[in-house]
Chain A
Amino acid sequence: MARSVRPVAVVSFAQSAMVRREERLNDVEMLQPVIADVFEKVGLTKDDMGFVCSGSCDYLVGAPFSFVGALDAVGAWPPMRESHVEMDGAFAMYEAWTQLQEDDIETALVFSFGRSSMSEIGRVLTLQLDPYYVAPLWPDPVALAALQAQALIDSGRYGEADFAAVAGRSRRDARNNPNAQVSGDPSTEELLGDDYVVAPLRRHALPPITDGATAVILAAGDRARELCERPAWITGMDHRIETHALGARDLTSSPTTRRAAVGAGLLEDGGDGSVAVDVAELHAPFAHQELILRDALGLGDGVAVNPSGGALAANAVMVAGLVRIGEAAGRIMDGTARTALAHATSGPCLQQNLVCALAAEPAGDGRR
């Protein structure tokens, strides 16, 4: 499944403020206002949903089945069709989109929540690595990203100043995002004065530690047109995964991102084409990863990349990918873009990549 057969659109998007540590609210209390907001924007309730799917990770909060408890924020009676992925909400949205393609349902709620602050997020994320040869060494995500960044420098394509330029632009863009956690107007020179966290990554090249929640509503065909003046039609969606063996990958490229963009209908298979869209929201938690993703997709200067500030402005784990889709869809819904690409990643060093193609017009004739 990759290109849209039945027209399905994002019709509503909501997110919490993204904060360093949510000290007052539990998961349910953090999610509930976001769920209420995403429903209110289109005048729907949970009882209107044909399907509900969430993305989260029990390891973040250290509580088994925390995703089941989170359903208290939605209300789960009478019984509903519901599913969960132990992944970013963007991957939950892929499941919901697939359901909408194949089933006789009109709408779906997708939500995700993540609290990176409750433990040492670096140690938690280490547990996703190969448990025999890699995880026992406890290489945290920053160390692995630094290996990737060093490989990129060694390739001769980019240097530390390029990483700093990405971080500076993200912070400037984030000034227009009321939910962003990190914003400002630093020069590249100022940023290059930051200390190394793990060389060659300085502080600015790392994502913030973030707690937050987000939700979107998907609707099919005429239902989408009823609910939203300018639905953000999903013209294609695909996700691909690379081997877990870090040493077997070329960390300076992202072939699965490109493959997913082909699957989503944004590129022809083979050749060196470029994705042509108005806006691209790329889930690049580390500054150098944005450069790898841009190259993989062939994004030119005409594409506005991460106008929300991206994951360098707020990176709630399990949430930031779905926020990319919501932010990209939001720009179609508010009329500032006609076409958009949203990307979400999971795993170390961009191991898994999802690409969602969005447009102001559905693919094909738009009717079924």
Chain B
Amino acid sequence: MSEPVTMLATPIRIEYEFTAGLAQSRYLKGIAEGRFLGQRCPQCQKVYVPPRGSCPTDGVPTTDEVVLGNTGIVTTYCVVNVPFQGQSIEIPYICAQILLDGANIAFMGLIQEVPTAEIRMGMRVEAVWVDKKDLGPTMASVKYFRPSGEPDAAYETFSEYL
């Protein structure tokens, strides 16, 4: 009876089986075909990607499927300089919010093939996919986004998505 117990390790592990649902299943099957599929709200006409089956604004099912472009706009970004456990990408790298052409919501993506000093809001980018034989229903099918070479988008065209 000398030192008090100050720490106690109680390992916990629980396995889950994820249910993607109808909308996300369609989206992931689209990814396996090398394209981005969104869904449009019948009320506000906004297109969501990845779709979750319901409009987060109106609460109604999003049933219209929309094939989105392979290109989009960097609405905002950050440069990651901090190493962390399990990091698979060499630092520094760019993590960006990307508004795909035809979509009304931005999603997060990795930007490569551009020096970190040159990344900017409004930059036009395109998705780079894995080889066709390696495509699958997983976001790993999209290797990254890179500059498309098109002129930058005007701020007004994406300001409402920041």
Bound-state CA distance A117–B59 (Å) is 25
CA distance A80 to B59 in the complex (A): 13
Could you tell me if B10 and A72 are in contact, using CB atoms closer than 8 angstroms? Answer: no
The 8 closest A-B pairs by CB, nearest first: A26-B21, A75-B59, A62-B16, A29-B53, A77-B57, A72-B56, A136-B10, A75-B58
Q: Which residues of chain A have a CB within 8 Å of any CB of chain B?
A: 22-29, 32, 35-36, 46, 59, 61-62, 69, 71-77, 115, 117-120, 123-124, 127, 131-132, 135-136
Find chain B residues with CB under 8 A from A25 CB.
Answer: 19, 21-22, 53
- For the complex, give the distance between the alpha carbons of A46 and B8 in Å: 47
What's the count of A-B pairs with C-beta under 8 Å?
A: 88
**CA–CA, A35 and B57, complex, Å:** 14
A75 adjacent to B55 (CB under 8 Å) = yes
**B54: which A residues are within 8 A, CB to CB?**
28-29, 32, 72-73, 75
Considering the complex, give the chain B residue whose CB is closest to the CB of A45: B59
User: B41-59: contact bitstring with A at CB < 8 Å (1 yes, 0 no)?
Assistant: 0000000000011111111
SS of B interface (majority) = loop
Are A26 and B56 in contact (CB-based, < 8 A)? Answer: no
Q: Tell me the interface secondary structure of chain A in the complex.
A: helix
Closest chain A residue to B61 by CB distance?
A32
* Minimum CB distance partner of B9 in chain A: A136
| B16 near A29: Cβ-Cβ < 8 Å | no
Q: Flag if B59 contacts A72 (CB, 8 Å).
A: yes
Q: Which of B14, B18, B59, B60 has the most A CB atoms < 10 Å from its CB? A: B59
Which residues in chain B, 2-50, are within 8 Å of chain A measured between CB atoms? 8, 10, 12, 14-24
**Given the complex of chains A and B, what is the CA–CA distance between A105 and B121 in angstroms?**
43
Given contacts A32-B54, A119-B15, contact A26 B24 (CB under 8 A): yes
* Bound-complex Cα distance A325 to B34 (A): 48
Q: Name B55-103 residues within 8 Å CB distance of A.
A: 55-61
**Contacts beyond the supplied A25-B19, A32-B54: 11 A-B pairs with Cβ under 8 Å:** A25-B21, A25-B53, A26-B52, A26-B53, A28-B54, A29-B61, A72-B53, A117-B17, A119-B17, A120-B14, A136-B10
Known: A119-B14, A120-B15, A131-B10. A76 touches B56 (CB 8 A): yes
Distance in Å: Cβ of B135 to nearest Cβ of chain A: 23
CB of B51 to closest CB in A, whole Å: 10
Taking a contact as CB atoms closer than 8 A, the residue among A26, A59, A77, A115 that contacts B23 in the complex is: A26
- A127 with B12, Cβ < 8 A, contacts A28-B21, A119-B17 known: yes
Contacting pair B17 A132 (CB below 8 A): no
Show 10 A/B contacts (Cβ-Cβ < 8 Å), sorted by A: A25-B21, A27-B21, A29-B52, A32-B53, A32-B60, A35-B59, A117-B17, A118-B16, A119-B16, A136-B10
Complex partner residue of B56 from A59, A75, A119, A136, CB under 8 angstroms: A75
Residue of A24, A119, A123 near B22 (CB, 8 A) is: A24
Please give, as numbers and ranges, the residues of chain A lying within 8 Å of B53 by CB-CB distance. Answer: 25-26, 28-29, 32, 72
B59 contacts A74, CB within 8 Å?
Answer: yes
What residues of chain B lie closer than 8 Å to A61, measured between beta carbons?
A: 16
Query: Given the complex of chains A and B, what is the CA–CA distance between A118 and B23 in angstroms?
Result: 18
* Residue with the greatest number of chain B CB neighbours at <10 A, chosen from A22, A26, A115: A26
List chain A residues, Cβ under 8 A from B55.
72, 75
Q: Are A72 and B17 in contact (CB under 8 A)?
A: no
Closest-by-CB residue of A relative to B41 is: A75
By a CB distance below 8 angstroms, the chain B residues around A135 are: 10
CB of A69, distance to nearest CB on chain B (Å): 7
- Inter-chain CA distance A61–B16, complex, in Å, is 7
In whole angstroms, how far apart are the Cα atoms of A122 and B96 in the complex?
Answer: 40
Q: Are A132's CB and B8's CB within 8 A?
A: yes
Q: Nearest chain B CB to A363's CB is how many angstroms away?
A: 34
Taken together as a complex, chains A and B put the C-alpha atoms of A158 and B59 apart, in Å, by 49
Provide the B109-147 mask, 1 if CB < 8 A to any CB of A, else 0: 000000000000000000000000000000000000000
A29 to B27, CA, bound (A): 15
Q: Of A62, A72, A76, which is within 8 A of B14 by CB?
A: A62
Q: Which B-chain residue is minimally distant from A71 (CB atoms)?
A: B56
Determine the chain A residues whose CB is within 8 A of the CB of B58 once the complex forms.
Answer: 75, 77
Whether B56 contacts A77 by the Cβ 8 Å rule is yes
Whether the pair B59, A29 counts as a contact (CB closer than 8 A) is no
A127 to B16, CA, bound (A): 15
When distances are taken between beta carbons in the complex, the residues of chain A under 8 Å from B19 are 22-26, 115, 118
Complex Cα distance, B21 from A61, in Å, reads 13
Taking the nearest CB of chain B, how far is it from the CB of A70, in angstroms? Answer: 10
> Considering only CB atoms, which chain B residue lies closest to A121 in the complex?
B14
Residues of chain B within 8 A of A132, CB atoms compared: 8, 10
List residues of chain B with CB within 8 A of the CB of A28.
Answer: 21, 52-54
Most buried by B among A28, A76, A124: A28
